[in-house]
Amino acid sequence: MRRHSIKIENQKIRPVPVMITLMIGVFIGLFNQTALNMALTNIMSDFQIEASDVQWLTTAYLLVLGILVPVSAVLIQWFTTREIFITSLVFSIIGTTIAGLSLNFEILILARVVQAVGAGLLMPLMTNVILVLYPPERRGTIMGIMVLVIMVAPAIGPTLSGLILDRLGWQGIFWICLPLLVISFAFGFVYMQNVSTITKPKIDIPSIFLSTIGFGGIVFGFSSAGKSIDAWGQPIVFMSIIVGITALVLFSLRQFKLEEPMLDLRVFKFPMFSLGVILVFLCMLQILSVSILLPMYLKGGLFLSAFIAGLLLLPGGVFNGITSLISGRLFDKHGPKYLVIVGFTIVSIMTLLFSRISITTSAAIIVVLHSCTLMGAAMIMNPAQTNGLNQLPKQLYPYGAAVMGTLQQIAGAIGAAIAIGMMVAGRTKNISVMTEPEALTAGIQNAFFFAFMVSIAGLLLALFIKKVENSSQKISKLKERSISS
């Protein structure tokens, strides 16, 4: 990030300190989130719960994000950047403290909900700040730096959590994160500046209600479906999904009737934004599936320690971050098409190979497959997201960021639920004729084949992506042409 300053509403903004502050907060939040994945089996043992139950630590987190992130478009226009940042860190600190003190599983879920409120405020805020501070021709690079920074957390999360688990137990993850969150709060209190324009649009209570029921119902339904092999036949599953879809339809219809919608769905009138949302949605389905399944396979199928399992996942996160940085620069120069197509091709091949792993698969092969999968994902996420957001006019930035963030969280929840559900179904089917590690691995093979089918769908859709130019870029080019002529 080159050092420069700009003026927003008569105040001088220094983008570098603002972005560093946001990235520190997001980094710690993501580390907190991903580090817990390695501790799921330990939590299952301590609280005597099943995989379908421990899944709710992820599902509850994503459920809150799915409910809160749509509202962020309004919050960004009601409260200053500093106010939202400080509030998000306060919730993260409180949630982390509760989690470290949890004596039962219910309290731990409550802590995750409080943590999710903090993350749900911070992620859309960072995207919106990038859209406001940086011109379209530089956003690919800045988004690449952002992804590089935030992917360091998932990269080192499993490794450090494995070391922490072996020495301090799963509670140690939260006690390590707590002082870091306090430092982030202090740094932001000094350096965070107000970037967003406060317009205070009317808050529509029915829209908030329908959004909550809609996104919440869908996430809850899919999460409940992952509990057992016959869960799809239970009324609570299909009724939750039907109610959720119905509420979202009513929510969407209402937004088009309001003069000041809570979530301006006119963003979907821009074709590359819509396609970008779908591609990011499909990519998130796979990322969440891989991040949940691999730790279970490494510990339950290969009997590796938490630290060794985390160490094997470290290269994938590092390569993902580096690839994100490179793909951001390539996007600024050449556009998204070939990056996204190559990314989905790589992910398709890797998830197909993942669907054939066994209890005799070597650790080296797992490292290579995981690294290549996340490198491919990096070639998809940054270009598809940036290209879609670039097509939006400035007044739709908060809504575009909210829509993109919301559907990412919904995709994560659905992907995690389906992956766990398929793993449980495969394990249940084979447990009578296989050993426990073999049955678990058979279930994980099924889940990875699902990820393969998703990546094929993404690859077909990626053929239609093309680089877009928004109004500011077009004006800039017209000026250059007039000067040259």
Q: Which pair of tokens denotes residue 477?
A: 């080019």
Which position has the higher pLDDT, 1 or 373? 373
154-174: b (≥16 Cβ within 10 Å) or e? bbbbbbbbbbbbeeeebbbbb
Q: What percent of the chain stands above pLDDT 70? A: 84
Q: Within 10 A of 477 (CB to CB), how many other CB atoms are there?
A: 11
**Residue 484 included in any domain:** no
Instruction: Give the chain's domain count.
Output: 1
pLDDT reported for residue 413: 66
Q: What residues make up the domain containing 191?
A: 8-479
For the residues 434-457, what does the mean pLDDT come to?
87
Considering only CA atoms, which of 136, 399, 387 is closest in space to residue 267?
A: 399
Which tokens is 89 given?
């860190």
3-class DSSP assignment, residue 7: strand
Are the beta carbons of 130 and 365 closer than 8 angstroms? no
Beta-strand relationship, 6-8 and 11-13? antiparallel
d(CA 434, CA 145) in angstroms, rounded, equals 46
- Of 32-41, 95-104, 145-154, least confident by mean pLDDT is 145-154
Distance CA 138, CA 123 (A): 20
- Please report which confidence band the pLDDT of residue 470 belongs to, taking 50, 70 and 90 as the band edges: low
Given a cut of 90, is residue 460 above it in pLDDT?
Answer: yes
Q: Enter the tokens of residue 171.
A: 């509670």
- At residue 484, the pLDDT reads 52
> What is the per-residue DSSP string for 394-443?
GGGHHHHHHHHHHHHHHHHHHHHHHHHHHHHHHHHHHTTTS-HHHHHHHH
pTM of the model: 0.74
Enter the tokens of residue 384.
């598809």
Question: According to the model, what pLDDT value does residue 462 have?
Answer: 92
Residue 192 has pLDDT above 80, yes or no: no
Contacts of 51 (CB under 8 A, 6+ apart): 40, 44, 296, 420, 423, 424
Beta bridge partners, 13, equal: 6
What is the tens place of the pLDDT at every residue in 214-227?
888 887 777 666 55
Residue 363 burial by Cβ neighbours in a 10 Å radius (0-12, 13-18, 19+): middle
Q: Is residue 53 part of a domain?
A: yes
| Contact between 25 and 85 (Cβ < 8 Å) | yes
Q: When comparing pLDDT for 410 and 339, which is higher?
A: 339
**pLDDT surpasses 80 at 405:** no
Task: Give residue 13's pLDDT.
Answer: 67
Rounded distance, CA 239 to CA 245, Å?
Answer: 10
Q: pLDDT tens digit string along 58-93?
A: 777 777 877 776 777 777 778 887 788 888 889 989
Residue 206 covered by a domain: yes
Tell me, yes or no, whether 2 lies in a domain: no
Question: Distance between CA atoms of 18 and 31, rounded to whole angstroms?
Answer: 20
**What's the mean per-residue pLDDT of the chain?**
79
Q: What is the pLDDT of residue 233?
A: 66
162-178 per-position pLDDT tens digit: 777 777 788 888 888 88
* Alpha-helical segments (H) within 226-336: 235-257, 271-300, 306-334
Q: Which of 48-62, 74-88, 145-159 has the lowest mean pLDDT?
A: 145-159
In a domain, 457, yes or no: yes
Residue 292 forms part of a structural domain: yes
Is residue 485 a part of any domain in this protein?
A: no
**Residue 11: in which H helix or E strand, if any?**
strand 11-13
Residue pair 310/162 in contact (Cβ under 8 Å)? The answer is: yes
pLDDT above 50 (res 10): no
- Give the domain CATH number at 220: 1.20.1250.20
Q: What is the pLDDT of residue 300?
A: 79
Q: Is the pLDDT of residue 41 over 90?
A: no
Interaxial angle between packed helices 271-300 and 40-47, expressed in degrees from 0 to 180 and rounded to the nearest 10: 60
Closest C-alpha to 155, from 375, 382, 409, 383: 375
Residue 458 lies in a domain: yes
> pLDDT digit string (tens) for 253-289?
888 888 777 777 888 889 899 999 899 889 888 877 7
Residue 249 has pLDDT above 70, yes or no: yes
**In the predicted model, what is the mean pLDDT of residues 397-420?**
75
